[in-house]
Amino acid sequence: MQPIFPTLYSTLSPTALATYISQQYTLGPVQCKFIVRGVGDTYLVTAAAGQFILRIYRPTHRTLPNIRAEVELLTALNAADISVSYPLADKHGHHIQPLEAAEGTRHAVLFTYAEGRAHNLLSEAQLRNFGREMARFHNVSSQLQLSDERWTFDLETTLFEPLAAVKDYFSEDPASYGWLLQAADKVKTALSQLDSTVISTGYCHYDFLPKNFHFDALDNITFFDFDFFGKGWLANDLMTFRQQLLIDMHVGRLTAEQGEKTWSLFLDAYQTERPLSKEELAAIPYLGLGFWVFYMGFHLTHDQFYPLTQPHMLQSRFAAVRKMMEQEWKEVVAVE
């Protein structure tokens, strides 16, 4: 028998996974459907008891300790009655399944299904539930210390390290790269002037865009996709939702008035469960640049994001980012 040709990224058979899950869990016979190819692979699992999500991680993206930390966090959040898609144990009590694939061992986790669907534009009821549930999540995540380490979100990891990594990709557009360097220094200066002792830290989701939470028919919310979570200022999570609103205003889905009303409703709801200091609110506009630069740096690390690293794509994206950030900072100055 010929050896398997060296492989970077395989796609596991849904049929074989259905057999494996039926044997490993107490769900009875199941069906398995491949639904998302990304930094990990996502399958929809259907059993008599309902629907579930199987996530298969890429070893180049998440290590076993990374996955253990995610399982520990979500288990703790579920135990604290935070509405999240959480990992399920198999009949032996194991949450993480090692699977021998062509490229080596991949790990899989079976999650509960987040009922409902994503909404791009949120109603007032949805905003209230979103704000309160994020604050409740932070009330728990600010008190946890996980057994396995995750990364930290700070100026180095979200701005300066990724900027150094992407320098060569801006060789055809030095003006945009120059702006990014200047903007990063502006952010560093602005954040250094804040009293960090009154800025809360803990585990952050760092991707609270509408694609990562569902509302059911009664507008109950469920969070999922904690793949990027790490430790840092909790204001980072509010910032990620702020970026969605900036996009919506930039492309015309929301007027400036509608966007600011949405933001105000969200903040009010959040603060019914957890207060925000003046420093945390002041940090949010400046943390936004790190969101875009952090994910740009991540795009360099995986082959499926190759199109996003091409000069014309970077130039187009960061022209929009520049416009949004400069408007955001202009409004901060105007308020001051």
List domains and CATH numbers for the chain. 14-112 (3.30.200.20), 124-335 (3.90.1200.10)
Residue 55 banded pLDDT, cuts 50, 70, 90: very high
pLDDT tens for 206-258 read 999 999 999 999 999 999 999 999 999 999 999 999 999 999 999 999 999 99
Alpha-carbon distance 11 to 36, whole Å? 11
E strands, the chain, in order: 31-37, 40-47, 50-57, 96-101, 104-112, 152-153, 201-204, 213-215, 221-223, 230-233
Share the mean pLDDT of the chain: 95
Question: Which pTM was predicted?
Answer: 0.96
Asked if residue 336 has pLDDT above 60, the reply is: no
Residue 334, pLDDT score: 54
What is the average pLDDT across 296-320?
90
pLDDT tens for 252-282 read 999 999 999 999 999 999 999 999 999 999 9
Provide, rounded to the nearest whole percent, the portion of the chain with pLDDT above 70: 99
What single DSSP character describes residue 13?
-
